[in-house]
Amino acid sequence: MLTEYTTPGTIEVRDDETLYSLLTERIARTGEDTVIASKKLGPGRWQDVTTGEFSRLVRAAAKGFIAFGIEKGDAVTLFSSTRFEWGVLDFALAAVGAVNVPIYDTDSAAQAERILNDSTVRLAIADDRERFDRLDSVRDRCPALRQILMMDGNALGALEGMGVSVSDEELEERIASVHADDLATIVYTSGSTGAPKGAELTHRNFLSIVRAGYECLPEMICEGLPRLLLFLPLAHCFARYIQYCSIGSDTGVVGYLPDTRSLLPDLRSFRPTYLLGVPRVFEKVYNAATHKAGMGMKGRLFAKAVAAARAWSRKEQNGEAHTAREIAERATYETLVYRTVRGALGPNIKFVACGGAPLDPDLAHFYAGIGLPMIQGYGMTETAAPFTVTRASDNKIGTVGQPAPGSSVRISEDGEVQVKGANVFVGYHNLPEKTAETFTEDGWLKTGDLGSLDDEGRLAITGRKKDIIITAGGKNVSPIPLEEEIVKCPIVEHCVVVGDARPFIGALVTLDPESLPMWLAAHGLSVDTPVDRLATNAAVHEEIQTYVDRANAAVSRAESVRKFVVLGTQFTNENKCLTPSLKVVRPAVNRVFAETIATQIYGDKR
């Protein structure tokens, strides 16, 4: 088994290129009349925006920033949901060499205050009144912050008005002063492993991985007429990266979706060809299809179709031939099941891309088996999102693929994944000691993740170094495989395994409010039963125990979950147990539910 792999090839980024160049180079190649973006006007209504109009809005906003007094290297915050104006302002900031410091739309006023002061933000732009007020409430404690604008209050128009005094020549002079190795953004990590840190990323960091995307996934990003419906938060590098990929391609169109309350109708009306999501998004689509099928004949047909899809995918991956019976069955399932599931993601969907958290291989095989390849990637904020990715022609489920051309990955002696490439960040803002700790003496980024490489250099992630639990008996236990099996239970939303310095392994489980009604109805229980009452329901425990038993079957008794507790509440952003990108914050869970763990799992007396 390999311990180090470098993908052949190189990715070229000129010193004079910036993120703004993605737009200007597309216009140079394709003209100003192609559609580059869409913004939602209402239910089922989208307004297409051409490259020429997008460029005009970007340049007008860029002039406004100059008129406001934003100098090259100054920090500007976007505090907003994913929307069209975010994309325009992002490119305008890149054009003038300002540093985009995004804040998650779910962040509190206190969290925003810390970011504004740490990065010395001079101008902030919120999307709506509620987030504007959040910023305004801490404005007096942010001495560098000069003004707050609001997108709903026509921030683009205000910037355009301010910029009328700035000439084209002055704008072009500023654009020419910005280079690939200048700082483009400071992105504050979501804090799943500690206090958020500001990762400094340059234009070159992003451009190198965007260009790598064109080489590694041309079928998804470049070929035909690719359409991306973007609903993940643009404060997250994962969403921002794919925005750049779409806008920088010749025919890509990105649709900005501010919220997901009407996601399924929006998918049907926008007609994306590919989607980017975290595992929970695709789990919900699968669970919704399962619940819709129900428990009768239709449910049995769906279950057989699911098993057939997974078996088909595994045979495809192993290079095995399909039998005549399997081919005939597949044709039936395609008509009765598969076409409908794919259609839930839009009538033109061809690919789904998943990252941000571990994905259940059974789920990936299901999507692949119904004709919808699940592209998987691995990366972090510090690598401008993706570092490795499976290719459409080499989509080995269970791995997260190979690095970008010219980039390297290795496994250290203690099993840690370490990476080196052009998209690796500069360092943490104002934290030189933390930056030094993050790199090895020979310049590799220490990811904190555990993994392995197969003989072709494909990476598999097996856990996190800091997540290893050491029981009182000295047994080292990786919680992630146990958690991944337990959350397969259709009524479970999250699972966190505990047991550090304890005599045995336990688990905290939260219930999924969206999946519960169908399950309750099928089991003769009232769909209106409160979650806190269901936490002690015998049938609920019995259902979850089935999946706990499956998880335990794959490990030794010392590693098995001996006792679990169903919580009567959820992990949320508000109780700090979830990051804005929906990752579970393990230390916060252990802290918030410390008494539950102590008394209900381990029987401590309080």
Tens-place pLDDT, residues 243-259: 999 999 999 999 999 98
Q: What CATH number labels 19-178+226-272?
A: 3.40.50.12780
183 touches 99 (CB < 8 A): yes
Q: How far is CA 254 from CA 46, 274, 287, 359, in A?
A: 11, 10, 27, 25
Domain 468-601 top-level CATH class: alpha beta
433 touches 412 (CB < 8 A): no
Q: Where are the alpha helices (DSSP H) in 153-257?
A: 155-162, 168-176, 203-216, 218-221, 237-248
What pLDDT sits at residue 277?
A: 87
Write out pLDDT tens, residues 88-110.
Answer: 999 999 999 999 999 999 888 98
Beta carbons within 8 Å of 128's beta carbon, 6+ residues apart:
150, 151, 152
- What is the SS3 assignment for 336-394? HHHHHHHHCCCCCCCEEEECCCCCCHHHHHHHHHCCCCEEEEEEEHHHCEEEEECECCE
What pLDDT sits at residue 190?
A: 63
Distance of alpha carbon 82 from alpha carbon 100, whole angstroms: 15
Write out pLDDT tens, residues 493-523.
Answer: 999 999 988 889 999 999 998 889 888 888 8
Return the DSSP state at 140. G
Concatenated DSSP letters of 93-112: HHHHT-EE--B-TT--HHHH
Q: What token pair was written down for 289? A: 């299809």
Pick the CATH number of 279-465 from 3.10.20.70, 3.30.390.50, 3.40.50.12780, 1.10.150.120: 3.40.50.12780
Return the DSSP state at 584. B
What is the rounded average pLDDT of the residues 567-572?
92
Domain boundaries, the chain: 19-178+226-272, 279-465, 468-601
Concatenated DSSP letters of 264-305: HHHHHHH--SEEEE-HHHHHHHHHHHHHHH-SSHHHHHHHHH
Tell me if residue 219 falls in helix, strand or coil. Answer: helix
Angle between helices 279-293 and 361-369 (to 10 degrees): 70
Mean pLDDT across the chain: 93
What pLDDT sits at residue 605?
A: 65
In percent, how much of the chain has pLDDT > 90?
77
β-strands 183-188, 198-202 pairing = antiparallel
Angle between helices 203-216 and 19-30 (to 10 degrees): 50
417 touches 409 (CB < 8 A): yes
Write out pLDDT tens, residues 50-67.
Answer: 999 999 999 999 999 999
- Tell me the pLDDT band of 606, cut-offs 50, 70 and 90: low
Distance of alpha carbon 464 from alpha carbon 483, whole angstroms: 13
Nearest to 338 by CA among 370, 362, 306: 370
What pLDDT sits at residue 84?
A: 97
Distance of alpha carbon 507 from alpha carbon 479, whole angstroms: 9
Phi, psi of 255 (to 5 degrees): -105, 130
Question: Taking the mean position of all CA atoms in its chain, how far away is CA 330?
Answer: 32
In the predicted structure, residue 192 carries a pLDDT above the cut 90: no
For the entire predicted model, the pTM comes to: 0.86
496 touches 483 (CB < 8 A): yes
What pLDDT sits at residue 457?
A: 97
Q: List the Cα angle 584/585/588 in 5-degree steps.
A: 130
In percent, how much of the chain has pLDDT > 70?
99
What is the rounded average pLDDT of the residues 279-288?
82
Distance of alpha carbon 602 from alpha carbon 298, whole angstroms: 43
Extended beta strands in 435-590, E state: 445-453, 459-464, 469-470, 476-477, 492-498, 505-511, 561-566
Distance of alpha carbon 415 from alpha carbon 41, whole angstroms: 49
Write out pLDDT tens, residues 460-480.
Answer: 998 888 788 888 777 778 898
Write out pLDDT tens, residues 417-437.
Answer: 999 999 999 999 999 999 999
Number of helices (H) and strands (E), helices first, in the chain? 23, 26
- 19-178+226-272 and 279-465, same CATH topology: yes
What pLDDT sits at residue 231?
A: 93
Distance of alpha carbon 50 from alpha carbon 36, whole angstroms: 5
Q: Give one word for 388, left, alpha or beta, with left for phi > 0 and alpha for psi -120 to 50.
A: beta
